[in-house]
Chain A
Amino acid sequence: MRKHSMPESNVTHPNVTPLIDVVMCLIIFFMLVAKIGVTSGAEEMTLPKAILGQDIKDLGNTLTLNVRNINQPLPMVTALLPGHHDTTELKFEENRGGKIERPLLDLLKAARANNPEFKVIIRGEQDMPYRLLEPVLFVSAQANVKNVNFATETVQAKK
């Protein structure tokens, strides 16, 4: 009886085609989902937790304000301004050669005047006293910014 033997394989290396297929799919996924080099100016801080937080689709019309407690009567507010690579401190009031200027208010007023859809995102440390948030809300109201969003860390509600 004739014996059936395994055909002799001429290919000595593994077939990498399925590997390339999978890796290419992963690369396309990561390229679509990853946000590389895109920053909204959000700084690292512990945000308050919330369940009902929503996504903001239109981040183009927003300015993110980072509000921090520096143990002063007013908080430190920083934001990423257009044309800057890093966040800049925006003071409530500053004296420039005898002239009192309000950089935060002026910035919000200018942004609001040019864009009726303008929104502010407030990122505040969860332990910061409310009195430090108050001046930021006042300035937003003075600048006629109606849409104020509070950044929160999402937690899952128990079912």
Chain B
Amino acid sequence: MRIRGSKKVHYDAGPNMTPLVDVVMVILIFLMLAGSFGGVERYLTSNVPIKQSGVGQAAVDNTVPDTPLEIRVDRNRADPSKFDVRAGRIAMTIDASTQESWLQQMDQLTEALKQMHQELNAAGTSDDKIQVEIHPQKDVPYAHAIHVFEAVTDAQFKKISFAQSHE
């Protein structure tokens, strides 16, 4: 007896992929929606968090004290979106209202600080003996203090600390 259909070619021989595709798509969409990826957050590092000024210390050895470089950061009285930076002969007003002006003026501040750094090195003061102290005014926005900190870091100073705020 001939079995009917035994010669019928079975074309759909592979496994059914439809459920797999369904599940895989669901996993993909879940991961795309739920995942938080490496954002734009980065960190500025400081090894000396804060330096208390005005506190006397007993001289315990004969080491030469560090050369302090004081940088004052004050809120501009005329325009609160600006801030004044003074360090030695450097006196700049930085306009932080737009990113373009801020970036441009921070470049100028960095260049001035780099030059000061080179002059200190040329005068024989090594990097480990230069202590930069950033003195922000009490009400200066945190962002402005961070901008100055970044400029000092960019000028390749090694010892940078924040100091107590002033009025």
Contacts and interface: CB of A to CB of B under 8 A. Distances in A.
Contacts of A131: 138-139, 165
A134 B135 CA distance: 11
Given A52-B150, A131-B139, A150 B24 contact: no
Given A48-B146, A152-B44, A145 B27 contact: no
A35 B36 contact: yes
Contacts, number: 161
Contacts of B27: 27
B41 A153 contact: yes
B130 to A, nearest CB: 18
A130 B41 contact: no
A53 B27 CA distance: 34
Give the most central of B37, B48, B49, B149: most A CB within 10 Å.
B49
A127 B32 CA distance: 33
Contacts of B165: 130-131, 134
Nearest to B135: A130
Interface of A: 10-11, 16-17, 19-20, 23-24, 26-27, 30-31, 33-36, 42, 47-56, 121, 124-134, 137-138, 140-141, 145-155, 157-158
